[in-house]
A and B are shown apart, each in its own frame.
Chain A
Amino acid sequence: MRSVRNGLIALLLGVGSTLAQADAGLAAEVAAATQARMQAARDAVLPYVVSIFVVREDAVQGRAELRVSAGSGTIISRDGHVATNAHVTENGKRFRVVLADKRELSAILVGEDALSDIAVLKIRDVPDAGFPFAHFAGENKLQAGDVVMAMGAPWGMAHSVSQGVVNNPERLLLSLFQDEADYEQQLGQNQPTARFYAWIQHDASISPGNSGGPLVSMDGEIVGINTRGNSSGGDMAFAIPAPVAATIVADLIREGTVPRSFFGFGVRSLKRSGFDRGVLVSSVIRESPAALAGLEAGDRIIAIDGEAVTVAEPEQVPPFLRAMTERRIGSPMAVTLSRDGLERKAKLVSTTYPPDLGHDLEVKAWGVTFTELTPNVARSRYLNRDVGLLVTGVLPGKRVATAHPPWLVGDVVHAIDGKPVGSRVDMQALDLDNGGAAPRRVVEIERNGAQLLSVLDAKPVRDEDKKLRELPKAWIGIETQPITATTAALIGGPATGGYRITRVYDGAPAAKAGVQVGDVLTALAGSAVPVSGDIGDEPLQQRIREALLDEPLQLDLWRAGKLIQLGVAPLAAPAPVSSLKSRTIDWLDLGVRNIGFYDRVARSIAADSKGVIVDNVASGGLAGLAHLATGDVILRVDGEVVPDVDRFEQLTDRKSRRAGTPLSFLVLRGSRTRLLYLDAEWEMGR
C-alpha cells in the first residue's frame, strides 16, 4: 500500500514538474513575443525621432533676448517634415534638428498652431531618396492600461525611451474647484490645447525636452505627441492624440495655418443650471458674428441647423467648441435660442478664427518690447479695444522708462504722433530704431481705461564704452603685510613694528629704488606709519596714494637689523581695470577691454602676451550663445591674433565678414584655452 502511495506521489510530482516546465516555457515565449513586439514598435518610430534645438527670442524686461531651448519631434514625411509642439517652436528664430544617426540639420518653421500646441518644421536639405518616416495612428483606439512608449530628448538627452501605460485616453483638465468660465479664461494665456481637444493621460516618464516627441503604441504607431508633464519627472504626462495631431499637421503642411471658424461666443454646460436641454451662452465678443446676430450672454442654444443640442457636463464643452470651429469658414449657422422663456431664431455667419497671440516686437532704441493686441489678448486683459500694441517690457533708464509720464508694462500704445499703430508693420514703418524723423514723440497710451499722452525723447541712447576711472594717485609698486611690535621682536624687526615688503612689482619705482622682499618699512617721508593690527596694509597704501607724483618719497626700511633709507619716485598707479579702453560690439551683445597691469598680475599673464578681456556678455545675446563668458581672455578671432580692442572691433566687424561663415574665438579661461564658435545661422536675422 505504501509503495502504491509513494508511486502516486512520484507520479504527481512528475506531472507537477512537467506542468511547471510547461508554464515556464510559455512565460518565456510570451516574454520573448512581448519583447519582440516592443522592439518592433520601437524600431518603427525611434529612428525617426529627432532632437530639436531652437534659438528663440523672448522679451525680457524691455529687450529681446536670445536663448537656446530644446525639444523633440518626429519625421513624419518623406520630405522631411517634423511634427512637434508649438511651445517648442514658439518665438523660435532658428531651428536645427539632430537625427538618430547624429546628423545635425537646419530646419525651417512650416507653421504652428497654438490652439492645439502642434507645430511643423521642415528639414532644409532633403536627400534625393527622401527621409524614412514614422506614421500616425489613424484613430485613437487607446484604452486605459494599454502600454505606450514616450520617445524624445528629456533634458536634451537624445533618443531616450520610457515606458508606461495609458491612464485615461481622453483626459480633459477640468478642475472640480473652478468655474468653467475661469478655465476658459486661463486657456487664452498660452497654448490652450484642451480648449478643443482632450489629451491622452499616461505615466511614461517625460521631462522638459520630451515636448513634441512621440507617444508610441505597441503597434509601432504614433498615438500622440507628448505636450505636458511634470518638470520634476513624475508619473503624470499628457499627449495630444494622433488623429488630432495628424489633422493639424496636414493643415499646417498644406496651408501653413489651421483654418477655423469663429463665431465669437463662449458656452458653458447646463450643470447646476436647472435646465435639461441646450447649452448656455456664457459670453459674446463685441462685434463678433454672434454679437451681430443678436446673441447675448445668458441665452440658451437649444438647436443648431434644426438639430437639438445639449451640453450637460463640462466635459462636453470642448467637443462642442471644436465642432463650431470645424465648420466651413463663412458658412451660415442657424441657431434656435431660448431667452426669457421664448424661442428665437438667429443666423450666424462665421469668420476666420483670429490668432490667440499677436507678433512680438522690440524697439531697441526705446528700450521697450510689445506684443500686438488680438481679441483674445484684449479679452483676457479686459481692454476696451482689440487693436494696439501691448507693452510687455520696459528697460529701466531707457527712453520709455524716462518718458513723461514713463510707460508701464500693461500699457497699450494706440498712436505715435497721431498715427495709429497696431502692428509690427506699423512700427517698422516708423523706423524708430534708427531715430526716425522727430526728436520727440507724442504717444497715445491706454492705461487702466484712461487715455494718456506721453512725450518721449526719441534720440537713441548711446551705449558708452567709456570706463570708470579711479582718480590718478601715487604708486610705488609694493605689497606689504603689517608687522606689530610683538611680531617684530620675534623676527628681529624694528621695535615699533612696520610693514614687511611681500612683493615688489617688476619695473615699478620701488624695484628701481632697490626695495626688496623682506624689508620692513617703518616711515614714509620721515613720518612713521602707524600699524593698527596685523590685518591689511591700508594705512600705508593710503599714505602712498596721498604722496605727490614724480616727487621723491623717502622710505625708511629695516633690512638685516639695520635702518636704511631709499628714495623712490612715485608714478601714477597703473590703470585700474575699470578704466581700461573698451569696446561694445552691439551685434554680438559683447563688451571687451584691453588687458591691464592688474589682469596680468591676477592671471599670471605674461607682460608681452596679447588679447582682450571679455567684460560683459549680455544675457540672451549672440556672444552668450557662443558660450563666451565674462573674464575670458580672447586671444584670437578667426585665427588672427587680437592685440587690443581696436583690432578686435575690426576682426568682428559685421559688414566686412562673409555672410554664412562661423566666427571662431580662441579664449583663455583659467589656465586652459578653449575654441568657441558662433554659429553663422544664429546671427542671421539678428
Chain B
Amino acid sequence: MKSIFRGMVVALAAWLLVPCADASESDDETRAVFAHLLKTHADSIVRVSFVIVSAYGGQEQRQESSVTGVIVDAAGLVLVPKLVVDPSFPGMSRMSADQKMSFKLESRDFRVYFAGQDQPFEAEALTTDADQGIAWLRITAANAKLLKPVDLKQRAGADPGTAYYVLERLEERYGNAPIVSWGVIQGSVSVPQQAHVGTGAAGLAFNAEGEVLGYVSVDFDESDSAATTTRQNPRMLLTSAARLASATQRAKSLLDSE
C-alpha cells in the first residue's frame, strides 16, 4: 500500500514537473537567442533623434522625437522607418489640394546616438523606399570605428509561423540600452506586393540565429476610397531580406552619384 502511495506521489510529481521543465527549457532558449542577438548585432543598433516640423495656416510647430536605427553600411547608412524622414499621417493623402498647399510636415535635424558616446553624429536623409516603408540616413561625419553594420548578405527566408526578433535601442533617459522585441509571421500576400504579414515588433527582423529576414514596417491603407471610413487596422508587412539588400545597394549607389 505504501509503495503504491509512493508511486502515485512520484507519478504526480513527475506529471507536475514535466511542463516546468519544458517552460524552463523554453526560457533558456529565449535567453540564449536574446544574448546571441545582442552580442552579434547590438553595436549596429543606434538611436536616431529628429525634429518633426508641421505647419498649417502659417502656424509652425516643432516636435522632437526619436526612433531606433540600424547601421547597414560602413559608409554610414542608417536604416530607419520611412515615416521618420517623410512623416505623414493616416488620411493625409485625402487632403484637398488647398489643404495640401497650406500644410507642411517634414523631418529635419537628424542625429545618431551610438552607445557609449555622449555626443551625437549629425545625419541627413538620403533616400526612401516607399514600397518597403524604409528610408536611409547618411551620417555626415561618422567615426569609422563606430560603424559596425549589419551584414545584409547574412540572410534567410521566412515562412508563416517563423518567429522573428527586432533589436531596439532605448531613449537617452534609459541610457540608450539595447533591448530585443519579437514577433511572428502570420501569413503571406502577393498584393499589393509580395510580402509576409506579421504581428509583433517593427524594424529589421532577424531569426534566432541572427540572420536577416527582412524589414517589418507598418502598412497604412492610404486608398482614396469611401471605404476608408471603415479603415482596417494597419498591417505589419515583412519584405524580404534580398529585396532589402538590393535596395540598400541602390541607396548606397546614390552616394557615388553625389
A contacts, CB < 8 Å to B:
60-61, 395-398, 401-402, 404, 457, 461, 464, 466, 468-472, 530, 532, 535-536, 538-539, 542, 545, 578, 616-619, 624, 629-631
Q: Among A395, A472, A617, point to the contact of B250 (Cβ < 8 A).
A: A472
On whether A536 and B51 interact (CB within 8 A), knowing A542-B192, A630-B104, the answer reads no
Apart from A539-B191, A630-B104: 8 A-B pairs, beta carbons within 8 A: A402-B111, A470-B129, A471-B251, A536-B192, A539-B192, A539-B193, A619-B59, A629-B102
Q: Point out the residues of chain B lying under 8 angstroms from A404, CB to CB.
A: 118
Judge if B124 is at the interface, Cβ distance under 8 Å: yes
Interface size classification for chain B: 35 or more
Residue of A nearest to B193 (CB): A542
Q: Among B125, B130, B225, point to the contact of A535 (Cβ < 8 A).
A: B225
Q: Among B59, B104, B128, B129, point to the contact of A616 (Cβ < 8 A).
A: B104
With the chains together, A472 CA to B120 CA distance in Å?
A: 30
With the chains together, A396 CA to B118 CA distance in Å?
A: 19
CB distance from B87 to the nearest CB of A (A): 11
In contact, B125 and A468 (Cβ under 8 angstroms): yes
In contact, B190 and A530 (Cβ under 8 angstroms): yes
In contact, B124 and A466 (Cβ under 8 angstroms): yes
With the chains together, A631 CA to B103 CA distance in Å?
A: 10
Q: Point out the residues of chain A lying under 8 angstroms from B254, CB to CB.
A: 469, 471
Residue pairs across A and B with Cβ atoms less than 8 A apart, 16 shown, are: A396-B64, A397-B50, A402-B49, A404-B118, A468-B125, A469-B254, A470-B129, A471-B127, A530-B190, A532-B191, A532-B192, A536-B192, A536-B223, A578-B86, A630-B101, A630-B102
Q: Point out the residues of chain A lying under 8 angstroms from B108, CB to CB.
A: 397, 464
On whether A468 and B225 interact (CB within 8 A), knowing A61-B61, A397-B51, A461-B109, the answer reads no
With the chains together, A551 CA to B204 CA distance in Å?
A: 31
With the chains together, A535 CA to B227 CA distance in Å?
A: 10
CB distance from B54 to the nearest CB of A (A): 11
Q: Point out the residues of chain B lying under 8 angstroms from A624, CB to CB.
A: 58
For B49, B119, B193, B227, the residue with the greatest tally of chain A CB atoms inside 10 Å of its CB is B193
CB distance from B126 to the nearest CB of A (A): 8
Q: Point out the residues of chain B lying under 8 angstroms from A398, CB to CB.
A: 109
With the chains together, A617 CA to B61 CA distance in Å?
A: 14
Q: Among A469, A545, A616, point to the contact of B131 (Cβ < 8 A).
A: A545
With the chains together, A619 CA to B104 CA distance in Å?
A: 11
In contact, B223 and A468 (Cβ under 8 angstroms): no
With the chains together, A404 CA to B111 CA distance in Å?
A: 14
Residue of B nearest to A459 (CB): B122
Judge if B55 is at the interface, Cβ distance under 8 Å: yes
In contact, B227 and A468 (Cβ under 8 angstroms): no
In contact, A619 and B60 (Cβ under 8 angstroms): yes
CB distance from B183 to the nearest CB of A (A): 23
Q: Point out the residues of chain B lying under 8 angstroms from A397, CB to CB.
A: 49-51, 62, 64, 108-109
Judge if B36 is at the interface, Cβ distance under 8 Å: no
Judge if B63 is at the interface, Cβ distance under 8 Å: yes
In contact, A395 and B62 (Cβ under 8 angstroms): yes
On whether A618 and B128 interact (CB within 8 A), knowing A532-B192, A536-B192, A578-B86, the answer reads no
CB distance from B195 to the nearest CB of A (A): 10
With the chains together, A402 CA to B108 CA distance in Å?
A: 14
Q: Point out the residues of chain A lying under 8 angstroms from B109, CB to CB.
A: 396-398, 461
Judge if B72 is at the interface, Cβ distance under 8 Å: no
With the chains together, A545 CA to B251 CA distance in Å?
A: 15
CB distance from A625 to the nearest CB of B (A): 11
Q: Point out the residues of chain B lying under 8 angstroms from A542, CB to CB.
A: 131, 192-193
Residue of A nearest to B52 (CB): A396
Q: Which chain B residues (215-252) contact chain A, with CB distance < 8 Å? A: 223, 225, 227, 247, 250-251
